[in-house]
Structure 1
Amino acid sequence: MSPIQHTLPLSAALLLAACSDSAPLNVDAGPAPAPSSAKVRFIAIGDPGTGSANQFAVGAAMAQVCETRGCDFVVELGDNIYVSGVSGIYDEQFETKFEQPYAALDVPFFLVLGNHDNSRGPGEGSDNRRGDFQVDYHYRSDRTSDKWNMPARYYTFTAPLGSEAPLVEFWGLDSNPLAAIVPDPDPAWFWPTYGAAQLQWLQETSRASRARWKIAMSHHPYLSNGLHGNAGSADGTNPLVPGTISAQPWKEFVEAGICAEGFDLHLQGHDHDLEWIKPQPQCGDTHFIVSGAADSPRGFGDAERNEVFYQQDQVLGFFWFEIGHDALLGAVYQLDDNGQPQVAFEKTLVK
């Protein structure tokens, strides 16, 4: 596997060191430059990790699409392990809810954390240190495969993988401390501490990026027509910690980071449906993709909440992308009654 690139300013590195026992984050870039004709192809999935027949079916469908259209890697948008994450790096759920369902896929996965990955109970998101086990699994030397890539709670990588001339850069973000249903009581995870450090890191690394395309990936959405809704009004409010359940801190983070820095795409999970949301005036030309239908699909919360190019609920599916120098092609795949992947929608963005 080609090495990952990720960078951290001192403030974020110190904070991550306090929040995780992971190995030092010193990874060298590969030597090969990317030619101007390079293409980057990947799949985006979210909310997959139950080990159910649905997850295995989606894994098989992804393998089919990778065989026919090509895949360099997969990005997984959180809730990697239901219902309450893992209890250590040797938790058998890494096998039953990741390694086994995706055994037919011989490509790297780049993952971010979701609320279920950071929970004491079923998905409340109040125990962020539990998510650190998933970071630590990245460094376990005797894994079944080396597919799992989560070198830190937030990190970057560039593609083509290992290239010194990146076409696209991805930012894996940690949204849970800023949008959890129940806030973590440890002040180390609060917006003025953890959130501010992560935002500074995002701004600094974005401005230093040499990539032509910039893509953010997180579990919690900024915009969504699904059950949880938009950041700032998601899931109601918590009178004990104003704005936590409503994801107001996450809204402010996205607007000051992803929107202000002119990202091309924001890949989102959390809502178990498929959406391609149109750019909004407050966020420039950023397109919002919800891909959370990799295991347990459900209905929309308000299908008219945001204008979309495409949306579908109550289906299993995922997004496939191909990025070149001047164009980004996105395709939505839905599984039919026989578990076969079918193209439901395609759209091209030109830069």
Structure 2
Amino acid sequence: MAFALLTLLSAVVGVTLCYPAAFEDLGANGSKCNRTSIRFLALGDWGGLPSAPYVTTVQITTAQEMSKVAEQMGADFILALGDNFYYKGVESVDSPRFQETFESVYTSKYLRVPWYVVAGNHDHAGNVTAQIEYSQRSDRWKFPSYYYELNFLIPNTGKTLTIIMLDTVMLCGHSDDFTDEKPRGPLRAVDANRQLVWLQDRLARSKADFLLVAGHYPVWSVSEHGPTKCLLKKLRPLLIKHNVTSYLCGHDHNLQYLEESGVGYVVSGAGNFVDPDFSHFDHVPKDSLKYFNGQESTKGGFVHAEVTNSMLFLTYFQSKGTSLFRTVLSQRKFG
């Protein structure tokens, strides 16, 4: 009996020590001897159109520039920050939208890397489970669950990167862009609470040198949707408490960078449309906004990130081929 109890206790301890999940494989790029960083692209609100031609000019030009930047600067993976299929997501895993809006657009070999996906409000208007199931059909579409954690070893540095992927619609509720409806609360409180408890646990456990959180809704934004009250209440205190490096999102269709209480806030929502709206400028902390671009002449944009042994470099690109803005964040400090 005592032996059996000891065996059970050892198993429990073993499970605890095995947390978090295994490190993601960076593939051939990650194994090169001269690699000392991880590079990725962050792209939100890229989801084409529900009828022919199923794409927008902004989406096409953004995809082309993403390929060029990935070739020149490197991209081990891509964070797809929601609103993957306008305007009502997909209905089933057999939807032709996967081919029309995703596979047939991002065709460059430099974009044939893992796409780590979260759902946006337009995705929740359809069947998010179908998008999760598509992970079994595509060699690059990685959407294992509504929310999940990614862990990476930064090559040849001994440093680590963790990215926590959230479903902010499940957490805060649906929103309707056509009526400017704000999230009014989660559809199922039990699901929202379960995700929040999971998030609190993952943040508390994390010893990563760089800790990023990604979702669809913004915490801070100066544009049409503005700050998300639910995230200001539920997420922002956790980002500050646990010394999160940066929060990445979409939802507003432009490029923004804000810094507040030691956290960098990235809005990268210009993958399919571009919106110059600036109506919530007075609704973010004074001097927090460091960069904003919603000019239609940019023809869209995205963010390139590089994580080294001590720094996170963020570079904003427009689809016309120009670097717009660059900033640097330091690794987390403990104690």
* Structure 1 residue 163, shift from structure 2 partner: 10
CA distance in 2 between counterparts of 1:256 and 1:220 reads 16
Give the secondary-structure state (helix, strand or coil) at the position aligned to 1:318: strand
Give the secondary-structure state (helix, strand or coil) at the position aligned to 2:281: coil
Matches within 5 A, 1:46-61: 46-50=44-48, 51-61=55-65
Correspondence for 1:213? 210
User: Paired residue for 1:311, among 268, 292, 300?
Assistant: 292
* Structure 1 residue 256, shift from structure 2 partner: 4.3
CA distance in 2 between counterparts of 1:164 and 1:210 reads 15
Kindly indicate whether the alpha-carbon contact (under 8 Å) linking 1:46 and 1:268 is maintained by their aligned counterparts in 2. yes
Matches within 5 A, 1:1-351: 29=23, 38-50=36-48, 51-104=55-108, 105-119=111-125, 130-140=127-137, 143=138, 146-160=139-153, 167-177=160-170, 178-181=172-175, 189-191=187-189, 193-232=190-229, 248=230, 250-279=231-260, 284-302=261-279, 304-305=281-282, 306=284, 307-314=288-295, 315=298, 316-336=300-320, 341-351=321-331
TM score, norm. by length of structure 1: 0.74
CA-to-aligned-CA distance 1:19-60 (integer Å, 9 cap, x gap): xxxxxxx97546999999720111111000112232122111
Counterpart residue type for residue 265 of structure 1: S
Kindly indicate whether the alpha-carbon contact (under 8 Å) linking 1:268 and 1:289 is maintained by their aligned counterparts in 2. yes
CA distance in 2 between counterparts of 1:188 and 1:276 reads 27
Q: Which has the larger Rg?
A: 2
Identity of aligned residues (%): 26
Kindly indicate whether the alpha-carbon contact (under 8 Å) linking 2:258 and 2:266 is maintained by their aligned counterparts in 1. yes
* Structure 1 residue 259, shift from structure 2 partner: 3.0
Change (3 A) 1:163 1:118: farther
Change (3 A) 1:80 1:161: farther
Q: List structure 1 segments (4+ residues) > 3 angstroms apart after TM superposition.
A: 26-37, 160-166
Runs (5+) with no aligned partner, structure 2: 1-19, 49-54
CA-to-aligned-CA distance 1:282-339 (integer Å, 9 cap, x gap): xx31110100001111122426333311111133111111111211111110122xxx
Give the secondary-structure state (helix, strand or coil) at the position aligned to 1:278: strand
CA distance in 2 between counterparts of 1:47 and 1:156 reads 21
Structure with greater helix percent: 2
- Over the aligned positions, Cα root-mean-square deviation in angstroms equals 2.8
CA distance in 2 between counterparts of 1:71 and 1:312 reads 23
* Structure 1 residue 152, shift from structure 2 partner: 0.2
* Structure 1 residue 200, shift from structure 2 partner: 1.1
Runs (5+) with no aligned partner, structure 1: 1-25, 121-129, 233-247
Change (3 A) 1:62 1:68: same
Change (3 A) 1:303 1:30: closer
Counterpart residue type for residue 326 of structure 2: E
Change (3 A) 1:53 1:176: same
Give the secondary-structure state (helix, strand or coil) at the position aligned to 2:208: coil
Kindly indicate whether the alpha-carbon contact (under 8 Å) linking 2:154 and 2:160 is maintained by their aligned counterparts in 1. no
CA-to-aligned-CA distance 1:128-184 (integer Å, 9 cap, x gap): xx21111111123xx3xx11111000001122489996621001100012141269x
CA-to-aligned-CA distance 1:171-229 (integer Å, 9 cap, x gap): 1100012141269xxx99433x1121111111111222232000010000110011000
CA distance in 2 between counterparts of 1:277 and 1:334 reads 18
Correspondence for 1:3? none
Kindly indicate whether the alpha-carbon contact (under 8 Å) linking 1:49 and 1:295 is maintained by their aligned counterparts in 2. yes
Counterpart residue type for residue 55 of structure 1: Q
